[in-house]
A and B are shown apart, each in its own frame.
Chain A
């Protein structure tokens, strides 16, 4: 069974940093692209970026809204996906989801972790 479990969310001050984790199981982690998607309360989904699989060199792509502030990485030995978030702003407040990709669609999703950026 594919499982994705996010953690690391919480309250952070504007300008602060946070690292989210996504522990995975039930599949061969290195075979898949992995994504981060966020959703502000009551709003639509926003793709943040992904990290490619082993066959594609674990390279990354980001949306313009987070490029340069957020970094996606993966620990392939432990099957964990990360999202390092720096210089956080109020508009980054959202539930953050990790997802396993299927040719660009998001086949499996975690339960999400809530990030609140507020003084």
Chain B
């Protein structure tokens, strides 16, 4: 199975900052990576697919990048509503696998 490693369980940021959440795949997954946002008590919301394509309605301050094994979700000008947990997922091969998540918190 492909392991998606989000090495930072928690990240601290301030409103207006730029923050990058990273995800490393244990094997080459091309650009078959998605990113999700999950707020407490809510279901996940899709942000990015194919590593860098934003879903409709997702603010352009969310940017995905990377290919192969290293991927990044960058949030520019962080807003208070962005404080949530972020998960990466690979869909290059079965079983589809998710990262353990990174919680974005206020400093």
Contact = CB atoms under 8 A, between A and B. Distances in A.
B87 A44 contact: yes
Interface residues of A, number: 19
A109 interface: yes
Contact of A44 (B42, B94, B96, B101): B101
Contacts of A105: 34, 46, 49-50, 89, 91
B20 to A, nearest CB: 20
Residue of A45, A47, A108 with highest tally of chain B CB at under 10 A? A45
B10 interface: no
25 contacts: A44-B87, A44-B99, A45-B36, A45-B98, A47-B89, A47-B96, A47-B98, A63-B94, A63-B95, A104-B34, A104-B96, A105-B34, A105-B50, A105-B91, A106-B34, A106-B36, A106-B89, A107-B46, A107-B49, A107-B55, A108-B46, A109-B43, A109-B44, A109-B45, A111-B42
Interface of A: 44-47, 61, 63-64, 97, 102-112
